[in-house]
A and B are shown apart, each in its own frame.
Chain A
Amino acid sequence: MDIKTIAPATKAPRLRPLSPNIQIYRPQLTSVLSIANRITGILLSVGAVGLVIWLSAAVAGPGPYAIVQQAIGSWIGRIVMLGFTLAFFLHMCGGIRHLVWDTVHGFELQSIYISGWSVVAASVVLTVAAWAAGLYLGGWL
């Protein structure tokens, strides 16, 4: 049989079954940390803009610098900075985990869970330690 007789020239696109979408899966440590690395990266991009604003305010003089410092020192500012601190340590620890994976190490399921929980634990510990040290040196503790 000639192939042209089987395949018609014009054919309506057949509806293909869709693979299950992301929300059907139970969140796992692996998937949660994967998307967390991306979300914290996007958040830290905003933080990088904040760094430039802070440096620019310092150039502008003591007045503008005081306004920025006041915003950071407010309760909302402190909560935002706490969020940035946790996002930073999560992204850094997650990034180090990725760099280890780049050396083709730690791909066994058990290793992935050990490194994953280590990232979570290290991020929380480093965030608490950074804030404890900051509050102590700043004279608030």
Chain B
Amino acid sequence: MTSEPALVCGRCERPLQLGKVAVTYLGNRFPVELLRCPVCGMVYVPEELALGKMLQVEQALEDK
């Protein structure tokens, strides 16, 4: 697990903050807390999440 980088939004130049985001897949919608730009709302998905929990949920939903 790599340590969380200190990211800023490329446009708004603001550090990211945790915020509520909706993720959707195959007609399912889940609220999650993710790092995002407090101004424009652009969301960051770290590699560990994409290839870990997110992939698990994707596969579980595909088998529904």
* A and B are interacting partners: no
B residues within 8 Å of A by Cβ? none
